[in-house]
Chains A and B, each alone.
Chain A
Amino acid sequence: MAQAPGKTTFTGWLFKGPALTLLAFFMVYPILSSLWMSLQVGKGMNFSFGGSANMWRLTQDAVFQQALLNTLTLLVVQVPIMITLAMLMAVALNDPSLKGRALFRTAIFLPCVTSLVAYSVLFKSMFAFDGVVNHFLEALHIVDQPIPWLSDAFWAKTLIILAITWRWTGYNMIFFLASLQNIDPSIYEAARIDGIPRWAQFVKITLPALKPVILFTTVTSTIGTLQLFDEVNNITLGGPANATLTLSLYIYQLSFKFMPSFGYAATVSYVIVLLVMILSFIQFVVARDRRRS
């Protein structure tokens, strides 16, 4: 080695310096600051110490509870549907004898180049009451009456779920495809010679090999859905009657729409942090237990 180790280490810190400095100011400090803010009460820039007042307010706040319930509902319904779809499409596209694989893959992957705002525009207009989707469903005799996508609580939630699934399924599929390519084809060959049916091959060979990707995509999708903002702000504005109000949208409204209530908004944001931590932890534990058994 041409240089003394001590000097090399110092150079290493210089390399990390810009990133660590920026993170200290724009990541660590805001995290601590919002924790401190969550203990403050007051409007605008006038704070006073409120202790656990904001936490009590959470238990009294029906709007918050609805936002929490909405966010969890979207999460519980949407993430499993999307991950399953992504996995099945990847398995279908991984078959080398399939014609037009590249074309299918590109088409299904395409939605993730759109910005969240851009695809909100598309979904809002396609799902208008007299819009193209309702025409299509009526023409196919799937429904007799147009569906009130934007004005009914149940259908508005469904619309948001459809929209997120459209945008992110192809994105997640790419991770499954990459992982499938790492499975040795000779394992399937051996299974076929032993006369093991295809569904059993899927359960015994494919699924276990995909476990890390399932975990990865589930965790990232969970974090993404818990932070859901752009779509609901642009497609439904949280409506009708708060039916699609998410936690992030509520925080935004508390901070920047009405008379700002930063302290309480910070408290609500820590609810998301807590949910992310709990759900990630559960998902890791579930993944580990399955691996053991």
Chain B
Amino acid sequence: MNRRLHRIMIYALLSIAAFVSVFPFLWLMLGATNISSDIQSGKVTPGHALFDNIVKLTQQVDLVQLFYNSTKIAVIATALTLVVASLSGYAFEIFRSKLSDRIFAGLLAMLSIPFAALMIPLFVIMAKLHLINTHTAVIIPTIASIFMIFYFRQATKSFPTELRDAARVDGLNEWQIFLYIYVPVMRSTYAAATIIIFMANWNNYLWPLIVLQTNDTKTLTLAVASLLSAYVPDYGVVMVATTLATLPTLVIFFVLQKQFVQGLLGSLK
């Protein structure tokens, strides 16, 4: 009896946790169909304002431009980060020396430096390079992600050395080994990294907020934030914009859930 009660309690608590976790997503979708005043007075039934909200949103922002900006930044940043971080993560594990290990330890120490301590000098650098209000300025500082270098170095520990030795005997040089052996063998590592980097860039807020200053360069995330910060925000419109901003990451999550979880855990191995 006691055991059964215990069981029921666990189910009850997990159900509450699951409900609390999922409810805001329902709220988001309901909100997109309701008018602002209904949202603020807590209406939990679908409304008829979805079309109106979409029309109002397209009148206030250039959706195509925002999607283009967000996608462009996220795709380019992801591609460059994958190349730079995997090359160096691989090398920190394979081509080791005392100096190399020391530099790596130094990088790990820098992992704990908060972005707030970097953003002012970064802004000054970008101003000097005349890159303020460009997507280049958003992308460049994110490419050499220490977290991702660390992630690839950890993953490389599971790359079989026999493969590398065999490739060397076959006369492949180090670049060919990396490109033709390592990359194909480690594709699940790359898949997980892609998801994490893409999401981080798609959702990035503080640095783009500082660097991007005009409407034609802004990202979807920035547009959502600025719609929300209006003196009297139109929540119906904000909800539609938020749904659009969340949809890509939600789809990626459901399609690639396994790799996503694996990606998060990569740093723990």
Binding site for B on A (CB under 8 A): 1-3, 8-9, 11-13, 15-16, 18-20, 22-23, 25-31, 33-34, 37, 85, 89, 92-93, 95, 98, 103-104, 106-111, 113-126, 128, 130-136, 166, 170-171, 174-175, 178-179, 213, 216, 223, 226-227, 229-230, 233-234, 237, 247-248, 251-252, 255-256, 262, 265-266, 268-270, 272-273, 276-277, 280
Contact = CB atoms under 8 A, between A and B. Distances in A.
Which of B110, B140, B242, B261 counts the most chain A CB atoms within 10 A? B242
11 contacts: A22-B84, A26-B122, A26-B140, A34-B117, A89-B14, A111-B21, A121-B239, A130-B40, A132-B43, A233-B225, A277-B112
Interface stretch (B49-57, B61-69, B91-99, B183-191): B91-99
Given A31-B113, A107-B22, 18 more contacts: A3-B168, A12-B94, A15-B174, A16-B91, A22-B144, A106-B257, A116-B203, A118-B203, A126-B27, A133-B42, A174-B261, A223-B112, A223-B114, A229-B206, A230-B206, A252-B116, A252-B206, A276-B112
Main SS of chain A's interface residues? helix
A28 B141 CA distance: 12
B235 A125 contact: yes
A192 to B, nearest CB: 13
Contacts, number: 271
Contacts of A13: 91, 95
A234 B21 contact: no
Contacts of A18: 83-84, 87-88, 144
Interface string B222-251: 001100110000010011001001100110
Contacts of B180: none
Given A16-B100, A26-B122, A229-B206, A107 B21 contact: yes
Interface of B: 10, 13-14, 17-18, 20-22, 24-25, 27-28, 31, 39-44, 83-85, 87-88, 90-92, 94-95, 97, 100, 103, 107, 110, 112-125, 140-141, 143-144, 146, 149, 168-169, 171, 173-175, 178, 199, 202-203, 205-206, 210, 221, 224-225, 228-229, 235, 238-239, 242, 245-246, 249-250, 252-253, 257, 261, 264-265, 268
Nearest to B145: A19
Contacts of B95: 8-9, 11-13, 15-16
B206 A118 contact: no
Contact of A113 (B84, B225, B249): B249
B168 A166 contact: no
Which of A93, A122, A175, A233 counts the most chain B CB atoms within 10 A? A122
A122 B24 contact: yes
Contact of A15 (B178, B203, B265): B178
B113 A273 contact: yes
Given A30-B122, A111-B24, A115-B245, A92 B174 contact: no
Nearest to B22: A107
Main SS of chain B's interface residues? helix
A254 to B, nearest CB: 9
B239 A269 contact: no
Given A8-B174, A117-B203, A108 B116 contact: no
A83 B121 CA distance: 34
Contacts of A213: 268
A16 B87 contact: yes
Given A8-B174, A121-B242, A22 B21 contact: no
Nearest to A18: B84
A230 B204 CA distance: 10
Nearest to A178: B265
Contact of A110 (B25, B125, B141): B25
